[in-house]
Amino acid sequence: MSSDFARKLARRAGIVTILVSTAFLSACQVRPLYSESTGVTEKLGSVGFSEAGTRVGQVVRNRLIFLASRGAGEVEKPDYMVDLQVSSYVADTLLVQSSDTSRAGRANVTVSYTLRTTKDNRIIKAGSRSAISLVDFPSQEFAKQRAILDAENRAANQAAEFVGADLAAALSR
């Protein structure tokens, strides 16, 4: 009799657990970042970006334009404006003591941004994002310069992805 009672109790506890978890999950408010109900896609399509002063800054700006417009290009009359400040540097790592040269390094790109409305110049979001890309230094100078350029491009594109996600999150609110 007690084993029958234990089975019924376990069954009821299982049913209660399923009902409670179903109620808990139905209250969840998770939705995709680019969902149609938030209008993020249209808002991102109306974002303009300030000019970049350096080559790495231009890589960041071009990637952000591509991300915001979904490949459609730069908007002529933006509703929002993003002021960009991009800095980058390459640091040597793995220094060879005997020859005082480095065999590897890292490219660091930092993007500081401010998202404003063009109508009233109100700041919606400001922040800073950075990305690091590792690079091996070959012995040939041209190959080394090309490797540094590629590392800077990878870091710039990654930093732009981070900033793009921040902008989408800010515009979805």
List per-residue pLDDT tens for the chain, 173 residues long.
567 777 887 888 888 788 777 766 665 555 554 455 556 777 777 788 888 889 999 999 999 999 888 777 787 888 899 999 999 999 887 666 666 677 888 999 999 999 999 899 899 999 999 999 999 888 888 999 999 999 999 999 999 999 999 988 888 87
Per-residue pLDDT at 11:
83
Token duo for residue 63: 């990637």
* Measured CA distances, 104 to 15, 47, 108, 113, 121 (Å): 59, 38, 13, 30, 44
Going from N- to C-terminal start, the domains of the chain cover 1-30, 36-171
Per-residue pLDDT at 28:
58
Nearest of 145, 134, 130 to residue 105 by alpha carbon: 134
Domain 36-171, classified CATH 3.30.300.130, yes or no: no
